Amino acid sequence: MSNRTLVRGGLVITAADEVHADVLTEDGRIVALASNGSDIAAGWTADRVIDATGKYVIPGGVDGHTHMEMPFGGTFAADTFETGTRAAAWGGTTTIVDFAIQSPGQALREGLDAWYAKADGNCAIDYGFHMILADVNEHSLQEMDLLVQEGITSFKLFMAYPGVFYSDDGKILRAMQRASHNGGLIMMHAENGIAIDVLVEQALAAGRTDPRYHGEVRKVLLEAEATHRAIQLARVADAPLYVVHVSAEEAVAELAAARDKGLPVFGETCPQYLFLSTDNLAEPDFEGAKYVCSTPLRPREHQAALWRGLRTNDLQVVSTDHCPFCFTGQKEMGRGDFSKIPNGLPGVEHRMDLLHQAVVDGHISRRRWIEIACATPARMFGLYPKKGTIAPGADADIVIYDPKAEQTLSAQTHHMDVDYSVYEGKRITGQVETVLSRGETVIDGRKYTGRPGHGIYTPRATCQYLT
């Protein structure tokens, strides 16, 4: 028996269009759109009708960069797949792409299977995986081909964290060459970790132990240098490149210069770099630890370049890099030594709202909001048009968004399993009202109706943003 939902009377916004249309879904898919008030739409019947008058009807958000339960710095990211995907749903995100991790000495298969097991049966929304390569060798290079076949079509490498995730230039080049052949997309953490570790050692030896020094040693120039080097290596390998968590103006300039040459080089930034700054890292009484992430927050002057990059398409995607650690017991591990503060902060719940606030503030248009938060991440990571748009044939991942609602972000009211908010007290215009994931209601008029296990593993095609 089919199950039909009709979303009536809203303004449907995609990356391409804004139209007043009714949307009909059946058995988890969008089957038709028709002008609101038209004879066609008037003739539709459904099991459930959602009145979206005065609201936006937008595709569910696609967050291409999360870390649920990630082991890091001797602890684990606080959100599980269950709590993290529930929080994502609250914020209008209906797909995440998380990172499975290969440990040094381990096969990719082993790491990937561990992440399948962690997520299986626990997610409220659909999910896929990237693979972190921490040990590039003949075997793991061969495994990359198999993973691409299996729907794991992107691979993160680190130019930072010597002795942990770090790959040297030779390993990076080999992985890029492999990706050039198998269609995989290399994602790069672009910071010169060898130089950073020297500066960390020197800072600690000089007694500079507070969280703000995390930002000072991870220098803008070392992000820009690594970004430049990654681009040149990708050119040599003839491979596309996606630089994750871009935070510095000088790194955006490297991406822009490469793109001006017509190179297939892409960049992602995150809400924390658009809305927060080194002022937060410098908060007293160790409060700055809440804002420790890598790449680090930058002086607020960098924000204008990030917004500009998003407008000019020198940056294509906004993901969260959601990697939360509680202040109590986790961030506190770094009291007296900023290098021991686990790197990462919570954000999966607030990306759609913060980017809507950017629309309200005039940084980006409504369609660009949907493009950078839904459509392009879906295309970048091979999920389009199943995800990221509202069109016949797409999954019925639909958010009814109230653009006039007012809310205040706070740890008291958020749903992420972490004891603080980096946006505590921030006022936002706009709020998610109802969320459908493959036609099933997971948020219904600001009530959670989802369940662990509704979300399914979603294999991905290769990058669809190249042509």
Strand order from edge to edge, sheet including 126-132: 61-66, 93-101, 126-132, 154-158, 185-189, 241-243, 265-269, 317-318
Spatial CA neighbour of 211 closest among 64, 90, 327, 106: 327
Choice between 343 and 464, CB closer to Zn ion: 343
Give whichever of 70 and 436 is closer to ligand DUC, judged by the CB atom: 70
Binding-site partner at residue 118 among ligand DUC, Zn ion, none, CB < 5 to 8 Å by type: none
Least gap, CB of 65 to Zn ion (angstroms): 5
Tokens of 250: 């000088």
Q: Smallest gap, in angstroms, from Cβ of residue 132 to ligand DUC?
A: 9
User: At its nearest, how many Å lie between ligand DUC and the CB of residue 212?
Assistant: 18
Site string for ligand DUC, 320-359 (x = CB under 6 A): -x-x-------------------xx---------------
**Burial class, 204, CB count within 10 angstroms (exposed 0-12 / middle 13-18 / buried 19+):** middle
Cβ neighbours of residue 256 under 8 Å, at least 6 residues apart? 309, 312, 314
- How many CA within 13 A on the CB side of residue 73? 23
Residues within window 32-91 making contact with ligand DUC, judged by CB under 6 A: 67
User: Among residues 55 and 189, whose Cβ is nearest to Zn ion?
Assistant: 189
Applying CB under 6 A, the site for ligand DUC has a residue count of 9
Strand partners of residue 154: 185
**Site map 304..333 versus Zn ion, x via CB under 5 A:** -----------------x------------
227 binds, among ligand DUC, Zn ion, none (CB under 5 to 8 A by kind): none
Q: Please name every residue paired with 72 in a beta bridge, in sequence order, or none if there are none.
A: 75
Residue of this chain nearest to ligand DUC (CB atom): 294
Binders of ligand DUC among residues 194 to 253 (CB under 6 A) are: 244-245
Binding partner of residue 344 among Zn ion, ligand DUC, none, CB under 5 to 8 Å per kind? Answer: ligand DUC
CB of residue 161 to ligand DUC, shortest distance in Å: 7
The pair of three-digit structure tokens given for residue 62, joined into one six-digit string: 């696609």
Task: Quickly count helices (H) and strands (E) in the chain.
Answer: 15, 18
Shortest distance, CB of residue 99 to Zn ion, whole angstroms? 6
H helical segments located in 268-347 = 271-275, 278-281, 302-312
The residue (of 95 and 294) whose beta carbon lies closer to ligand DUC is 294
Which two tokens mark 407? 């809310």
Site track for ligand DUC across 80-119, x = CB under 6 A: ----------------------------------------
- The answer to whether the CB of 432 falls within 8 A of the CB of 444 is no
Terminus-to-terminus CA distance in the chain, angstroms? 40
Nearest residue to Zn ion, scored by beta-carbon proximity: 189
Give the interface size with Zn ion as a residue count (CB under 5 A).
2
Query: CA 389 to CA 249: how far, in whole Å?
Result: 30
- Report in angstroms how near the CB of residue 156 gets to ligand DUC at its nearest: 7
What DSSP string runs through 159-180? SS-TTTTB--HHHHHHHHHHHH
| Chosen residue from 130, 174, 189, 214 binding Zn ion by CB under 5 A | 189
Burial of residue 329 (number of CB atoms within 10 Å: 0-12, 13-18, 19+): exposed
Minimum CB–partner distance for residue 33 and ligand DUC (Å): 37
Taking the complex as a whole, the smallest distance from the CB of residue 327 to ligand DUC amounts, in Å, to 17
**Closest CB 227 distance from Zn ion, rounded Å:** 13
Burial class from Cβ neighbours inside 10 Å (0-12, 13-18, 19+) for residue 446 reads: middle
What is the contact surface with Zn ion in residues (CB under 5 A)? 189, 321
What is the contact surface with ligand DUC in residues (CB under 6 A)? 67, 189, 244-245, 294, 321, 323, 343-344
